[in-house]
Amino acid sequence: MVYVSTRNKNLRVSAAQAIAMGIAPDGGLFCPTAFPRLSHDAFVQLMRMDYKQRAAMILGKFLTDFTAEELAHFTEQAYADEKFGGKDTVPLVSLADDVHMLELWHGPTCAFKDMALQMLPHLLTASLKKTGETRTCCILVATSGDTGKAALEGFADVPGTKIMVYYPVDGVSPMQKLQMVTQQGKNVEVVAIKGNFDDAQSAVKRIFTDTETAKRLDAQGLMFSSANSINWGRLAPQIAYYASAYCDLLRAGKIQHGQTVNVCVPTGNFGNILAAYIAKQMGVPLGKLICASNQNNVLTDFFAQGGVYDRNRPFYTTDSPSMDILISSNLERLLFFLSGQNDAMVKEMMDALAKDGRYDVSGVLGTQLAADFAAGFCDDAQTAHTIKKVFEEQKYLCDTHTAVAIHVCEQYRAQSGDHAPVIVASTASPFKFCKPVAA
Ligand SMILES: *Cc1c(COP(=O)(O)O)cnc(C)c1O
């Protein structure tokens, strides 16, 4: 399978190259040029498998320069029972009324980032070997809280790598900060920055694409890569759990073969929901992809206005800090896919975003956006109310990010009358954000 930059289709690389590089030199994000399809037989096979086997099978469709044995070995290690609290790597917990919570936070750092960041070190070190890379890989990470710890945990003392994490000094929860600054390991570094996640992510992207810096690093036997969801190696492992959740619903007899299921995802950098979109393109019968934001609702407006993205607005620090983002990087990949891989258009829009903080694709992509996506948002007061209500009525305790998704999901169902079963991505343990949850 060939990967290309969203900003230049002539830049063609293998999966291993895409993962080793992290981001394209032109600032674009690597994307597969086609989506592999899951046949009926593939679903029958997936149904019989455990999560580790399912993840290896789905990854194998995208990472064609890795062997099935390699991927099986990696998923065995990444999703080992002792790391994920048992055999059920991603439990699906049903609330009343066809709402199924996909708990993605049973890994070592209690957030869904572990699903990808336990895999990425395996994928990255193998990619470096496959591409004949001998330099030490310096991984720069921008975090709004959860990525930082999950990346540190994944890369601590991994040979051939160093990792440096930048977090907004006033933008993470006390637990998130403590998790990061107490990280063990000889190759880890944590830096607080003045600014928010967008500042951190933009600065890191600038460093990645600076040719002078790359030359100086190279002279010292070093290279950069990324552990943010701009790296394809972060995104690919996330596709698997949507296919897996669908199989679990089938296996439990909660849906029929081929029945449409909606998905609702609490969204920040647009990585997790993009993984659901890709699962849908592979043939998993997913319907509406419901994009849930907190008060930083740039994506809600983007979908409501049929494709006008405008980050010129106040930035709010909320009780769901991992979603405090106004520049959702992976939207670039969606524009690339929906536009039939129109790299020139994507480049023009991303230049406009960098220059004016705004772009408009409503004329070209408006109808397609509305076909696949719905969107809504939820402020801190509604988040608190939702946590309380779900706990009292359903005896289910959820964290603030997940509560945003539950609220938006209810809103969507009430407004649209679409009562298809829905998988809600539950992205963090309620015990990770104690203060707002306990209040
Ligand atoms: C990162 C994160 C999100 C947002 O996911 P994206 O892939 O950035 O959209 C949501 N909830 C939690 C708990 C997170 O850590």
The structure's pTM equals 0.96
- CB hemisphere CA count around 254 (13 angstroms): 21
| Residue of 115, 146, 228 to mutate, ligand 1, most atoms within 8 A of C-beta | 146
Q: Which residue has the tokens 């994307």?
A: 31
Q: What is the pLDDT of residue 144?
A: 85
In this structure, which long-range contacts are made by residues 351-359, counting pairs with CB atoms below 8 Å and at least 24 apart in sequence?
Answer: 353/309, 353/311, 353/327, 356/312, 357/310, 357/311, 357/312, 358/308, 358/309, 358/310, 358/311, 358/312, 359/308, 359/309
What Cα–Cα distance (Å) separates residue 247 from each residue in 100, 232, 264, 418? 13, 24, 17, 22
Q: Look at strands 358-360 and 308-310 and give their pairing.
A: antiparallel
Q: How far is the CA of 132 from the centre of ligand 1 (A)?
A: 33
For ligand 1, say whether the CB of 323 is within 6 Å of any of its atoms.
Answer: yes
Q: Is the CB of 330 under 6 A from ligand 1?
A: no
Going from the Cα of 421 to the center of ligand 1, the distance in angstroms, rounded, reads 22
Q: How far is the CA of 265 from the centre of ligand 1 (A)?
A: 9
> What pLDDT does residue 439 have?
65
Per-residue buried b or exposed e for 163-197, using 16+ beta carbons within 10 Å of the residue's own CB: bbbbbbeebbbebbbebbeebeeebbebebeebbb
The answer, yes or no, to whether any atom of ligand 1 lies below 6 A from the CB of 271, is yes
Mutate to test the pocket of ligand 1, among 176, 201, 401 (most ligand atoms within 8 A of CB): 401
| 439 residues of the chain, pLDDT tens digit each | 999 999 999 999 999 999 999 999 999 999 999 999 999 999 999 999 999 999 999 999 999 999 999 999 999 999 999 999 888 999 999 997 799 999 999 999 999 999 999 999 999 999 999 999 999 999 999 998 889 999 999 999 999 999 999 999 988 888 889 999 999 999 999 999 999 999 999 999 999 889 999 999 999 999 999 999 999 999 999 999 999 999 999 999 999 999 999 999 999 999 999 999 999 999 999 999 999 999 999 999 999 999 999 999 999 999 999 999 999 999 999 999 999 999 999 999 999 999 999 999 999 998 999 999 999 999 999 999 999 999 999 999 999 999 999 999 999 999 999 999 999 999 999 987 666 667 6
Give the atom of ligand 1 at the shortest distance from the alpha carbon of 229. Answer: 7
Record the tokens describing residue 144, joined without a space: 């709004």
Among 38, 55, 51, smallest CA distance to 286 is for 38
pLDDT value of residue 97: 72
Locate the ligand 1 atom nearest the alpha carbon of residue 325 and give its number: 8
**What's the pLDDT score for residue 433?**
65
Nearest-CA residue for atom 14 of ligand 1: 322
Whole-angstrom distance, CA of residue 409 vs CA of residue 424: 8
Number of other residues whose CB lies within 10 A of the CB of residue 220: 10
User: What's the 147 CA to ligand 1 centre distance in angstroms?
Assistant: 8
User: By the 8 A CB rule, do 163 and 139 touch?
Assistant: yes
Q: What one-character-per-residue DSSP string does 189-217 give?
A: EEEEESS-HHHHHHHHHHHHT-HHHHHHH
CA 309, CA 202: separation in Å to the nearest integer? 17
Our answer on whether the CB atom of 425 is closer than 6 Å to any ligand 1 atom is: no
Atom 8 in ligand 1: residue holding the nearest Cα: 269
427 CA distance to ligand 1 middle (Å) = 7
401 Cα: distance to centroid of ligand 1 (angstroms) = 8
Would you say the CB of residue 229 lies under 6 angstroms from ligand 1? yes
Which ligand 1 atom sits closest to the C-alpha of 401?
Answer: 11
- The phi, psi pair for 362, rounded to 5°, reads -60, -35
In this predicted structure, what is the pLDDT of residue 20?
95
Identify whether the C-beta of residue 228 lies closer than 8 Å to the C-beta of residue 141: yes
Of 316, 364, 360, nearest to 338 by C-alpha is 364
Residue of 101, 272, 333 to test ligand 1 pocket, by largest number of atoms within 8 Å of CB: 272
Cβ atoms of 299 and 269 closer than 8 Å: no
Ligand 1 atom closest to residue 269's alpha carbon, by position in its atom list = 8
Strand order, beta sheet including 8-13: 8-13, 3-5, 30-32
Mutate to test the pocket of ligand 1, among 29, 407, 427 (most ligand atoms within 8 A of CB): 427
